[in-house]
Structure 1
């Protein structure tokens, strides 16, 4: 009998086509980049308050600005491919917080550019504020038209609706006083609303463990309002915010096990930018005519060291998750 001449069956099923480059860039990378930019600005302030070499802050800011620019271009490529992906992103908490952090990061990039290229800094700041306003409007629409559970106020609302408070950091040195005033007033109103509702919610129930790191965001507006007050030449108001921020940080540190009970997640990015902002505020107070200025300098130096120890490892882990594709999956990032 002749050997069978049957040929082995070859599957004609083609493997799925690879996703286009950057088509699922997760917005969750931007809170940690926001924190790294804040850390660079804190080191810049340390040059004035503590006498550390100015090159330290500038090197950090230069490196992180390049990293932020790469990430921002990657996300813009995703939006350019399918503009509707932005609305998809704003319908979920990680996406909404991440997208808001993009434009807030741009405001800090503008602040980083002020001493070196004030003209470019003004352009970046204007674009960042305009884009953040658009994101705030779209986010409000997404929240209002989405499921009822999405209307629950979270600390991440500070990023979207109070984020304008970052603008004065660059606007005041550039002489854009009216813009700084407008952003400060709007941010103050929104911060009052978010704080009031959040306190009422916390009095009724604690957030689920995975969302508890977001509570750290409540520290950020206090630090930023303090720095803004200092920029407007109101040292005693800055001092009051410094006291409030210190009390809030102490409360957060006392409950650190409660905040981190769920283990590491991309939401740990919420620890980064508040720590950087707190360090910057205390180092700013150390240079002002306020009670206990030298003590603020000492605590600010400790806060800066702590922020330098905490922020880069969190950022590195989140960026590693981005590189391996895990971050997009865990944060349910939309695909273009």
Structure 2
């Protein structure tokens, strides 16, 4: 992560809104959707998940407004945020949060939800194009493969998850096939890179992002009624999660940082997959949901508190509009 001397922030509201707030919001969306799935499997009150989703949608709308105001003041700030790793992770999570907002809204306002999904695809495309342009023009070190590439490039799979109940099967199929091959490339490149170089302690929490595609592909496969394939992804996600749990002290060796937001959504997505499958995955799903319910709000609260105190932008070197 590259840090530069802090720039003076001119007067004006939300000139330095940090993208690093969005990974935790994404995790909170995942928690609400996991509770929604849990209520279907276990006959629990559905109101729990809906309350969580309603609150998170409001929080996301506020955070999105704050970033839009920053972007409107100086559009070039998008490229500057994408130059640094916390900004890339945050903006990718922002795009994925748009898709999950569409999924949360679908049962209540289908027309609005569909519009939000398409808006998310358009915005995600813009972010990816600008990011690639920065990679091409920037130093070679910036093009190093990181788990954040899953959020940026494979993250379109979240749009497929939102599109399935909207009966946009063709769109979901194209996204599923394309992102699956991208995920294979990123998993392979990351494994080879890890074997050669290792991972600095501050960046280790980002390794949890590798869990997300496994869970998301399983959920989308289940949406296509490909239960055997979904079971395979469930097993793969379980193997990754077990490895992460075994190495948790190593992953968190540098202490709490905003990068801990990377733990939130992968865990929530895994809980959703296991709960959606049910059967032999029901008990692991309930355990994962309980862990998600404890971990995600705690990390989200700590990150949001940093934002409220004005510290998050400084810690993550967010660009100034």
TM-score range, shorter chain: over 0.9
Structure 2 residue matching 1:67: 3-state secondary structure: helix
CA RMSD in angstroms comes to: 1.0
Matched, 1:242 2:234: yes
Matches within 5 A, 1:192-203: 192-203=184-195
Structure 1 residue matching 2:21: 3-state secondary structure: helix
- Aligned match of 1:138: 130
Q: Distance in 2 between matches of 1:32 and 1:225?
A: 21
Task: Describe the superposition over 1:38-94 as per-residue Cα deviations: whole angstroms up to 9, x where unpaired.
Answer: 100000000111111011100000000000000000000000000000000111111
Q: Distance in 2 between matches of 1:259 and 1:124?
A: 35
Q: Distance in 1 between matches of 2:166 and 2:40?
A: 19
TM-score by length of 2: 0.96
Matches within 5 A, 1:1-336: 19-286=11-278, 293=279, 295-336=280-321
Q: Distance in 2 between matches of 1:120 and 1:209?
A: 42
The alpha carbon displacement at 1:205 in A equals 2.3
Q: Distance in 2 between matches of 1:19 and 1:208?
A: 36
Unaligned runs of 5+ in 2: 1-7
Q: Distance in 1 between matches of 2:160 and 2:87?
A: 25
Q: Distance in 2 between matches of 1:272 and 1:36?
A: 7
Structure 1 residue matching 2:166: 3-state secondary structure: coil
Structure 1, 319-328 or 182-191: larger mean CA deviation = 182-191
The alpha carbon displacement at 1:19 in A equals 2.8
Q: Distance in 2 between matches of 1:138 and 1:235?
A: 37
Structure 2 residue matching 1:173: 3-state secondary structure: helix
The alpha carbon displacement at 1:188 in A equals 1.1
Structure 1, 104-113 or 198-207: larger mean CA deviation = 198-207
Tell me the number of residue pairs that the alignment of Structure 1 and Structure 2 aligns: 314
Q: Distance in 2 between matches of 1:76 and 1:84?
A: 12
Q: Distance in 2 between matches of 1:281 and 1:159?
A: 18
Q: Distance in 2 between matches of 1:71 and 1:143?
A: 26
The alpha carbon displacement at 1:146 in A equals 1.0
- Aligned match of 1:7: none
Contact 2:71 2:77 in 1 (8 A): yes
Q: Distance in 2 between matches of 1:84 and 1:61?
A: 32
Structure 2 residue matching 1:172: 3-state secondary structure: helix
Q: Distance in 2 between matches of 1:44 and 1:19?
A: 42
Contact 2:218 2:230 in 1 (8 A): yes
TM-score by length of 1: 0.92
